[in-house]
Amino acid sequence: MKNRLIARFNFSKKEFNGLVLLLGLLLALMFFPYAFKWCFPVKDNPREDELALLELRARLEKQSFSRQTKEKLFFKKPKPGALFSFDPNAIGLEQWQQLGFSEKQALSILNYRSKGGRFKRAEDLQKIYVVSAGQYQRLYPYIKISSAPADSSPGQTKRGYTAPVKVWIELNAADSMELDRVRGIGPAFARRIVKYRDRLGGFYKKEQLLEVFGLDSAKFMEIRDQVWADSTAVKKLNINTAVMEDFKYHPYLRYKQANAIIEYRKQHGNYVNIADLKKVAILTPPLVEILSHYISF
């Protein structure tokens, strides 16, 4: 048969052998996958894959729960207990925390009291900047402020109520908590006053409060009899050694004015007195008068 095929297709013996080998290789490639599966059967078990995925998910959830639990413990806020009637002028740190305040909040309130602050009515509690509106609303029904002991002082009325204690605050020494004691100054104005005072170097007169953002003449009239300014406490700047950086943030000077002061000093030497400062053309007489409270020679 081999000879017949060779004769029929006119193959040489070498070509015929090559053709047989090629066909054999093709057949082997076709049946190889089936033979491999038959020799090495694969166990198809979806249940094992599902179990592996469930195990992985459980591990991830456990890690997530552990991390969240640690975060909750670390950032844990005090849990308010049962509310009770209280006098904000009398309770201590532990009682404030039982009412739901953090230690930091409670210490701020106690610090306010230690500096002479007093809650005269329930509404005064919401003036403390660390007390949120929500906390105040929750506690308001439980605030019971005891009346001050009766005495024969002139401030006491016939009904037994004591007139508010008048404060007398020095503007250059007071911090924001002390300024908050002034009737008419809340936490926001107290912070603004301190910030502006620090930029100036101090107040030489209390009328400078009118320069504080938002503090109008009506507000000033309300508080003027409760505050005063010690002009000797103003921090002065040596005008003969000051550089541009020293003048940079002063509220009364712009860049051109500060630069003119420095350039005049370079050209004419050190300033001797306020009369020399008046020679700087860009400085108006009213400005020189104000600056006289903030400079030294």
234 Cβ neighbours under 8 A, 6+ residues apart: 172, 200, 201, 202, 203, 204, 293, 294
* Cα–Cα distances in angstroms (integers) from residue 88 to residues 128, 150, 166, in the given order: 12, 19, 20
CB 169 within 8 A of CB 227: yes
Q: Which residues pair with 31 in a beta bridge?
A: none
CB 208 within 8 A of CB 229: yes
Stronger pLDDT, 292 or 85, i.e. the higher one: 292
Q: Which two structure tokens, joined as six digits, stand for 37?
A: 């599966």
Q: Provide the CA 25 distance to its chain's centre, in angstroms.
A: 78
Amino acid 208: pLDDT: 93
Residue 279, pLDDT > 90, answer: yes
Q: Which two structure tokens, joined as six digits, stand for 245?
A: 């950086």
Residue 197, pLDDT > 80, answer: yes
Q: What rounded mean pLDDT belongs to the chain?
A: 79
CB 179 within 8 A of CB 193: yes
H-helix or E-strand containing 197? helix 187-200
CB 145 within 8 A of CB 88: yes
Q: Which two structure tokens, joined as six digits, stand for 97?
A: 């925390």
Confidence of residue 157 (pLDDT cuts 50, 70, 90): very low
CATH fold for domain 169-233: DNA polymerase; domain 1 (1.10.150)
Domain ranges of the chain: 1-41, 93-142, 169-233, 237-296
* Cα–Cα distances in angstroms (integers) from residue 293 to residues 108, 124, 197, 262, 263, in the given order: 35, 37, 14, 18, 21
Residue 74, pLDDT > 50, answer: no
Radius of gyration for the alpha carbons in the chain, expressed in angstroms and rounded: 43
What is the pairing mode between strands 295-296 and 227-228? unpaired
> How many CB atoms sit inside 10 A of residue 13's CB?
10
Amino acid 159: pLDDT: 52
What pTM did the predictor assign? 0.46
